[in-house]
Structures are given as structure tokens and as C-alpha cells.
Amino acid sequence: MTASPEFWRAMRRYAQDPMAVLGAAIVAVLVLAAILAEQVAPYPAHAGAFVDFVNANRPPDATYLLGTDGIGRDVLSRIIFGYRTSLVLGLTVLGIAVPLGTAAGLVGGYAGGRAEAVVMRITDVFLALPSLVLAMAIVGLFRPSQILAMAAVAAVWWPWYARLVHGMVRSIRLEGYVVSARLIGASPVRIMVGEILPNCAPTILTKFSLDMGLVILLGASLSFLGLGAPAPIPDLGTMVADGANYLPDQWWLSVTAGGAIFLAVLGFNLVGDGLRDVFDTTG
Amino acid sequence: MIRRVRLANVAAFLAARVGAGLLVVFGVSVLIFVLARAMPGDPARLALGPAATAAQVERLRADMGLDEPLLYQYVTFVAGALRLDFGTSLFTNRPVIADLAYGFPASLELALAAGMVMTIFGILLGAVSARFQNRWPDNVSRILSLIAVAMPNFVWALILMLLFAYWAELLPVSGRLSERLQAPPFVTGLVTVDAVLAGQWATLGDALRHLALPAVSLSLPGLAQVARLTRTNMVDVYARPYTEFARAYGFSEREISVKWALRPALIPTFTLLGMQIVALLGNAFLVETVFAWPGMARYGVEAILRKDLNAIVAVVMIVSVAFVVINIAIDLCVSFIDPRIRLQSAR
């Protein structure tokens, strides 16, 4: 996509919204920390199977900014590596769910008739269960692992995009430019990808940002229930669950890991809200 | 005459929604059946454990009907489910439905309490926010909403537990009733309601104290979303000419906010409430686990961790039925508030 004047106007409008900028800053810091985890984390070795009983259960202090856990691992380091796990989960899930759901919504909405009915009834079934319950059932019936958790979350997430895109396609498929493309003889695929999809892009992008937060939250919920990545992979949800066993004495374990999830969700929510405002006014 | 037409509309509306709901439940039953059969490992082997002989496993497989054709197995499963017979739990060795019947009232009580907190305080917060737009009550409530939405349910649960149960020692840490108290005679299964019916006020107080933290932590993210949406819509309505008109007529600000601004703003809120109540069903799995609340959702989590096949299937089916029922109820409520929707869907 070339940067048009409208794009720069939109960016300027985004930059004038302090909350949206705050969100972008949070997301940027988290993403950088996750990518450069080995360099940024104070004790990178603590992300793996590391034991140091002398320094176990230390409350937050100058050496261990967020304290240490029951076997002496630095909580801050594990949180930074935990972000890597969460962001990989979010990107993988949406990397599967967004194209899949968008394709289903495009085809269903544009073709109409039986294809539409089939796609919509299938999404109805997936949306009839809270995502957490369905994802739990999928992971639980098989064997908990990180790959499976991602697949399960993607399986419960694509219908949202199918719904969203379907609705937009329905509302623009009789617009002049779509009809004229058809009259010239453009193929259905060309019309869907070349004419309709670009008009859905801003909405999909906004939802993508909001969903990064929600998917991270869902992934953390799964691992909180013991259905996520197995130990010793650092995972924010698992850290909250492990810390909960040591309440109230080692309170910082759950609170810091929980706060880390909160920060990620907040960042992506703020960016999503900001994008929505920008795109709404540009129309 | 007009009345009869309206009733017919409602009936047609209801019939269409129930039909669609049945289709959804049917779809969920196929989905979970396929998932359960695609599960790696032999359910009979899982049930008997590694010590059983091959012959024993073979006999149980035959008893469970696992050697029959898949379609036959599916029909048997549906026929059982219609009679609320989901088979025996592989873990408790009791009929799954008996285990669920034990946990269901506890979950219902928690969900109802959380739903009430979410609805009342969400709408209230949103309305106050809109009335004092861009003044301090609005700013405080918007920041609180932002925090409440982004904080996961289970983190809320742990933080509230830490603050109010461990540090302030105001409320109990977990469970549904103190051990020294006896549960009131069983009428509805909701301890709070049963305590009122039996006139046991001390028990009621204790049950409410146990209910407070789980209900609040379950409701918070939904509450914040309700508040945000109510605020946005009310701000919109405040800008309309008829609000100005009412103000010109000299109605008090309070009357304007309740009668003019809030009512039309509530319609989207109701739709959101439906979605949030469904989200409650899901998040209950987390909150019940944190507070050791003896409900259906915690049973579901345990069933999944233990690979208790029949129990997993039953929990998923019941949640999907609850989803369909709640959605029909919400649609019906919205259609009574907003006649446009009723007429549209009846056509």
C-alpha cells in the first residue's frame, strides 16, 4: 500500500489522541522487549529450568525488581520471556484466524445463496459457546501443548472475522464500483480481492488490534487453567496460577504476572480504540 | 385487533428464534461428538487404567458401544442427551448428570449475582459518566472502565481476594458457606434464596459474604463494557434536539437523564448485555476455580484436566443450551423495548 495523503492525515489524527499514543508506546515497548528478551531481561537464564534456592521467594528489591519465585527465578525476566510466548501465540492465532475468517466471510457474503447459509450456520455453532469453553474442550480432549492451544484458539476465533467481513460484504456488494467491475467482466475472485477486500481492511485492522489483546487474554486463561505451554516455558497465565498457590505471602508472583497480562491487553485495546476513531471519521 | 397482531408477531418471532436455536444446539452436538471421537487414546482404556487386561478393555468398549458405526453412536448419544443421560463420569463413577445437578445451582447463583452487579452498576456508571460528561466523575469512571476491561477475570479474582480476604480480612477466601453453618433446606439450590425462604438470616449474611468477591470479579470486565457503551450512546442522545427541547420545557436534569437520555441509549446496551452474560458463562470457569466455588464450571475444568470424556461433553452441551436460552430471552426483551426489531423479524 502506498502512503496516500489520507494515510498521513489519519496518522496525524492518531498522533493527536494521547490515549492512542500511550497504547502504541506500550505495544512498542512490549514487542521490543519480547524480541530482544535475551538482551533486555536481567537474568535470561531464569527463563528456562533454573534453580537458586538461596534467593527463592525474595520480595521485589533492587536486585530482583519484581522479586523471585519459589525456586529463585527472577520474575521480571520470566515476564519478559512470557511476553514472547504471548505475542507469538497472538500473532500465530490471528495469522490463521484472520485469513481464514476473511475468506469465509468474503465468499459467503459475495456468493450468497447456499454458500452463505452454510458459512453462517457454521459460525453460529462456533459462536454458541464461550471461546474459553470451546478452546478448553479442544485442548483438554487432546494433549495440552502450546501448538494445540494456538490451534484451539484459532479454531474458535475465525468465525468472528467471517461474521464481520460477511456483514461488510453484504452492505457494499451492490455499490457502483462493485457492480461496474462485474459488468466489465471481472472474475468473482478479482472483485472480492481487488474491490471489496480493500474496503474492509480498516475495520479488519482495528479488530486485529483489539483481538491481539483478547487472544493474549484467552491464551493466558487457558494456561492459567493448566492447559497451556508445559513448564518450564515462561507463560504469563501459568505464572499467575503458580503464584496463586503462594497467596498471600508471596503475593508479588501472581500480581506482577497478572499485571503483565493487563498491560499487554490495555496496550492493544488503546491502539484498537485509537484506530477505530481514526477510521470512523475518515469514513 | 392491534393486540392480537402484536401477539402473533411475538409468536412468529419466538418460533423463528427457537428454530434457529435448535439448529445451533444440533451443530454443537455434532461438533463435540466429532471432537470426542477424534480424541487420541481409547476412552475404555482411559476409564479402566493401565492395569486392565485387553479382554476387559474390549468388553467395556462393547458396553460403551464404541464398536458400533459412528452414526449409530451419534444417534445413541443424542437419544441419551435428550433424556439428560450423558453416561457415567469416568472419575466419580456417578451419572454425569447427577454431578452436574449438584453444581448447577451454585453456578446459577454466581452467574445471577454477577449479572445483576454488571447490569445495575454498569448502567449506573455509564449514565453518571454521560451526565457529567468530561467532568471528574466521567474521567474517573472512564479510567476505571479502561482498567476493568483489560484486566483478566482471574487476575481480578486474585487481587480482590488478596485485598479483601487476606489483607483486610473482611470477606472469606473461598467456598460457598462457612463450615460451621448448615446449608438451609433445599428448595431452589441457591443458598441465598433458600436462606431467605427458611428465615435463616445469619446463613443469608454468610452466603452473601461468600458470594461477594466471586460475583464482583466475575462481573467487572462486563460491567466496564456496559458502562462504556451506555456512556457513548447517552452522550449521543444528549446531543439530540429532543433533549434540548425537554430542557427548554424546564424538566430537571435528573428527569432528562432518566426519561430522555437513558431510555433510547439502553437498546444497544441490552444487546451487549446478552453477549456479556454469555461471556460470564465462560469466565465462570476461571472465577470458580480461583474461589473454589463448588459449581458446574469448576467441575468442567476438573473434567477437562482429568480427561473425563462424558463429563466434558455434558458440560459443553449444557453451556450451549444455556447460551441459546439466554440469547432468546435477551432478543425477546430487546424486541419489547424496541418495536422496530420485533416488526422486522416477524416479517
What pLDDT digit, counting tens, does each position of B161-185 carry? 999 988 988 888 888 888 788 888 8
SS3 A187: coil
Question: Is A186 or B43 the better-scoring residue by pLDDT?
Answer: A186
Distance from CA of A276 to the nearest CA of B (A): 14
Grid cell 436534569 in the structure block, residue: B253
Supply the pLDDT for residue B4.
53
Q: Which CATH number fits domain B2-17+100-346: 3.20.20.10, 1.25.40.10, 1.10.3720.10, 3.50.50.60?
A: 1.10.3720.10
> Which residues neighbour B161 within 8 Å (Cβ) at sequence distance 6 or greater?
A247, B173, B174, B213, B290, B291
Q: Report whether pLDDT(B338) > 70.
A: no
Considering the entire predicted model, what is its pTM? 0.88
Are the Cβ atoms of A141 and B315 closer than 8 angstroms? no
pLDDT digits (tens, 9 = 90+) for A206-250: 899 989 999 999 999 999 998 887 777 888 999 999 888 888 888
Q: Is A23 exposed, middle or buried (0-12, 13-18, 19+ CB in 10 A)?
A: buried
The dihedrals phi and psi of B103, each to the nearest 5 degrees, come to -85, -25
Distance from CA of A275 to the nearest CA of B (A): 16
Q: Residue B216 in contact with residue B274, Cβ under 8 Å?
A: no
Distance from CA of A38 to the nearest CA of B (A): 27
Q: Enumerate the residues of chain B whose CB falls inside 8 A of the CB of residue A224.
A: 152, 154, 286
Helical (H) or strand (E) element with B82: helix B70-82
Supply the pLDDT for residue B347.
42
pLDDT bin (cut points 50, 70, 90) of residue A102 is very high
Supply the pLDDT for residue B344.
53
Q: How far apart are CA A103 and CA A267, in angstroms?
A: 28
* Residues of A at the B interface, defined by Cβ within 8 angstroms: 121-122, 124-126, 128-134, 136-143, 213, 217, 220-221, 224-227, 240, 244, 247-248, 251, 254-255, 258-259, 261-262, 265-266, 269-270
Supply the pLDDT for residue B48.
75
pLDDT bin (cut points 50, 70, 90) of residue A282 is very low
SS3 B95: strand
Chain mean position to CA B195: 23
Question: Is B100 or B45 the better-scoring residue by pLDDT?
Answer: B100
Question: Is B214 or A126 the better-scoring residue by pLDDT?
Answer: B214
Q: Enumerate the residues of chain A whose CB falls inside 8 A of the CB of residue B324.
A: 128
Q: How far apart are CA B344 and CA B9, in angstroms?
A: 10
Q: Report whether pLDDT(A107) > 70.
A: yes
Distance from CA of A272 to the nearest CA of B (A): 12
Q: Report whether pLDDT(B1) > 60.
A: no
Supply the pLDDT for residue A233.
84
pLDDT bin (cut points 50, 70, 90) of residue A99 is very high
Residue of A133, A259, A266 lying closest to B319 (CB–CB):
A133
Q: Report whether pLDDT(A283) > 50.
A: no
Q: Report whether pLDDT(B346) > 50.
A: no
Q: Enumerate the residues of chain B whose CB falls inside 8 A of the CB of residue A251.
A: 162, 166
pLDDT digits (tens, 9 = 90+) for B289-327: 999 999 999 999 988 888 888 888 899 999 889 888 888
Q: Report whether pLDDT(B218) > 90.
A: yes
Mean pLDDT of the region A147-158: 90
Q: Report whether pLDDT(B2) > 70.
A: no
How does the average pLDDT of chain B come out, rounded?
Answer: 85
Q: Where are the domains of chain B?
A: 2-17+100-346
List helix spans (H) across A112-142.
Answer: 113-127, 131-141
| Full set of structural domains in chain A with CATH | 25-43+66-279 (1.10.3720.10)
SS3 A74: strand
Q: What is the ipTM of this complex?
A: 0.86
Residue of A221, A265, A269 lying closest to B286 (CB–CB):
A221
Q: How far apart are CA A52 and CA B332, in angstroms?
A: 60
Closest-approach residue (CA) in chain B for A269: B150
Mean pLDDT of the region A173-198: 88
Q: Enumerate the residues of chain A whose CB falls inside 8 A of the CB of residue B40.
A: 142-143
* Among B81, B313, B99, B89, residue whose Cα is nearest residue A141: B313
Grid cell 506482577 in the structure block, residue: A256
Mean pLDDT of the region A36-42: 88
Are the Cβ atoms of B158 and A217 closer than 8 angstroms? no
